[in-house]
Amino acid sequence: MECVVKNAILSVVGAASLLLVACQQQQQQQNHALTPVCTNAQTPYERFVSGSRKYPTVMEVYMDDALLKQADKKSQVVISLSQQRGRLYVEGKVAADWPVSTGADTHPTPAGRFRVRYKSKEYASNRYGKMYDAEGKCIDGNADAFTQQIPEGGRFEGSPMPNWMRLTADGIGMHTGKVKAGRRLSHGCIRLPHVISTMLFDIVEYGTRVIIYEDIEPDYPVAEIVARREISAAESAAAAEPEGEL
């Protein structure tokens, strides 16, 4: 009789233990379900773009120092005319992103695939610049030496273009110049902030590939973020627009 009672007690204790384990497992599963799981951790570049309220129309510059240390002749420069942004790709990743000012409507920058064909740390345009008269007075601050005659006794002074990187035979290239976010200002060249032109000048070599796209490049890593922002901006603009009179 005593043995039967002990067995019964053990059975009850065992069942209670199993029930307790089951309850604990169920609670753990519920807690796990309530815990948010971050499956879309952003890269530093994604954080740069999503954290910039008006990207791409900003003067902000992005640089990944670790990737830039790996940059070489095989790295690729991309220019997006629609965004007025430039990017340096290293091993398929964005190592730098910066604003550019490309050719104005009267002097559009051509889209296409190019390679760096000449470099000069200190360079001046042989076509665009300032025209002076014989007395040394500037008579045209945006002169075209190819179409305008230099006054007798006067001179033409080409616009300085530091960190000049030529891309085409007819004088299109990249260089330090005045940049305004989202604005096309040049005579066809790609103007860069000085910190960027200095960085690129030290990286690119003869033959480095530069691709100029009308829109954004294929496989742009933050295309979805930019697209969502554009949709949101369009919706906000539409909502803010007053209804017309009937």
218 within domain boundaries = yes
The three-class DSSP label of residue 158 is strand
Q: Is the pLDDT of residue 2 over 50?
A: no
Residue 125, C-beta contacts closer than 8 angstroms, at least 6 positions apart: 158, 159, 161, 171
**Residue in this structure with the two tokens 């007025």, named with its chain if needed:** 84
Helix %, strand %, coil % of the chain (to 5): 30, 25, 45
14 within domain boundaries = no
CB neighbours of residue 228 within 10 Å: 11
The three-class DSSP label of residue 9 is helix
pLDDT tens for each residue of 93-123: 999 999 999 999 999 999 999 999 999 999 9
57 and 118 in a single domain? The answer is yes
Give the confidence band of 64 by pLDDT, cuts at 50, 70, 90. very high
Q: What is the CATH number of the domain that holds 96?
A: 2.40.440.10
Task: Choose the final residue of a domain: 107, 140, 160.
Answer: 160
How far apart, in whole angstroms, are the C-alpha atoms of residue 48 and residue 32? 31
Averaged confidence pLDDT in the chain: 85
95 and 180 in a single domain? The answer is yes
Q: Are 116 and 76 in contact (CB under 8 A)?
A: no
156 and 199 in a single domain? The answer is no
Task: Choose the final residue of a domain: 135, 160, 185.
Answer: 160
119 and 146 in a single domain? The answer is no
CB-count exposure of residue 147 (10 Å: 0-12, 13-18, 19+): exposed
Task: Choose the final residue of a domain: 160, 186, 215.
Answer: 160
Give the confidence band of 242 by pLDDT, cuts at 50, 70, 90. low
Domain around 133: 126-160
Give the confidence band of 231 by pLDDT, cuts at 50, 70, 90. confident
Higher pLDDT, 137 or 233: 137
| Strand 118-120, strand 190-192: pairing | unpaired
89 within domain boundaries = yes
Number of domains in the chain: 2
195 and 227 in a single domain? The answer is yes
115 and 61 in a single domain? The answer is yes
The three-class DSSP label of residue 38 is coil
Q: Which secondary structure element, helix H or strand E, spans residue 176, and what is its range?
A: strand 173-176
pLDDT tens for each residue of 179-216: 999 999 999 999 999 999 999 999 999 999 999 999 99
91 and 151 in a single domain? The answer is no
195 within domain boundaries = yes
- Looking at residue 1, its pLDDT comes to 46
11 within domain boundaries = no
173 and 105 in a single domain? The answer is yes
Q: Is the pLDDT of residue 166 over 80?
A: yes
83 and 169 in a single domain? The answer is yes
36 within domain boundaries = no
Q: Is the pLDDT of residue 230 over 90?
A: no
31 within domain boundaries = no
113 within domain boundaries = yes
91 and 196 in a single domain? The answer is yes
53 and 136 in a single domain? The answer is no
pLDDT tens for each residue of 8-58: 444 444 444 444 444 444 444 444 443 334 446 889 999 999 998 899 999
146 and 200 in a single domain? The answer is no
